Structure 1
Amino acid sequence: MSQAKTNARKCAVQALYQWQMSGESLSRIETYFLEQEYLKGAQKTYFSELFHGVPKQLTEIDAALAEFVDRPVEKIDPVERAILRIGVYELINRLETPYKVIINEGVNLAKDFGAEGSHKYVNGILDKVSQKQRAVEIAAKRAKPQN
């Protein structure tokens, strides 16, 4: 994965967190991120896809999470919730990105922004969601002979 996409995910986590906590409009938060140059070094189109895509598919994303989390989605720490929502969005919509890359990016986001040890929780949940959302990809990978 490119550093610009990683940076887009980092900005998306921060922007989604702000949206979850403040209830401000997406356009206002996005404008703020653009004006403050937070997106410098980030792939802006990918940031925009994540930032607008997650709220647009929130019901589907939260339903996918609810199946595997140990509490109501709204009770998950807001930072972890933003990270998990981005991961599930990517698992559903970005089929060209390998599921292991999405999980790894989520783990790294949790290490950067989450509470101590939250990366383990994020890893476990995204792994379970990926087994359902990407079952065909995982089965093909397992069936492929190892060199």
Structure 2
Amino acid sequence: MAEEMTGGCACGKVRYTVQVEGDEAYLCHCRMCQRATGSVSIAFKQVLKADLAWDGEPDWYTSSPIAVRPYCSRCGASLGFAYPDSARIDLTIASFDDPARFRPTHHFGAESMHRAWLCTSGLPEMRTEEYAPIMAKWAAAGQQPG
């Protein structure tokens, strides 16, 4: 059964509402996604374009002769990936207001995968509130992180 979910960019200029089926998502490791996002991989949820409504139209970057990417020109947030001739679009998991629902089910672009970044369990972990210098910056700004 479809569930309505919302999301958007960091600054709030671009928002969306989308009908989502299932919790399956995937990680893309292709070089195009790595360069477009500045990350070693990007998590996506594929949805139907017809089920997606933008509130504040995103800007569109033609990242290759076959693909476009919605993003916010004000804050720079990457919002997705699409083939213009497809009925589907992939939205970035992190752009959802509640991304916890989704689970990765496969990898794409494995030829460019940086395996050292896949399994990081066992590495030391630090919560934001445990790092005094950044908490002091947030306090000076009169805000909380997040």
Same fold (TM over 0.5): no
Higher Rg of the two aligned structures: 2
Q: Identify, as 1 or 2, the structure richer in strand.
A: 2
More RCO (CA 8 Å, sep 6+): 2
TM-score normalised over the length of structure 2: 0.25
Q: Identify, as 1 or 2, the structure richer in helix.
A: 1
